[in-house]
Structure 1
Amino acid sequence: MTVSRPVQGHSAAQGRRVVLDAMLEKPFQDGVLKLARFHGFSLAYHTHDSRRSVPGFPDLVLVNPRAGRVLYRELKTSKGRLSPAQIEWLDGLTACGMDAGVWRPNDLDTGRVVAELRGQSFAQKT
Structure 2
Amino acid sequence: MFGVGAPELIIIAVIALLVFGPSKLPEIGKTIGKGLREFKKASSDLKDQVNPLSDIEEPKPEPEPKSITKGKNVSVKKPIRRKPTEKLNASVKKTARTTKNKTSKKSNSHRTSPKSNETVK
Q: Which TM class, normalised by the smaller chain length?
A: under 0.3
Which structure has more helix as a fraction of its residues?
2
Which structure has more strand as a fraction of its residues?
1
Superposition TM-score, scaled by structure 2 size: 0.16
**Structure of greater relative contact order (alpha carbons < 8 Å, 6+ residues apart):** 1
Superposition TM-score, scaled by structure 1 size: 0.16
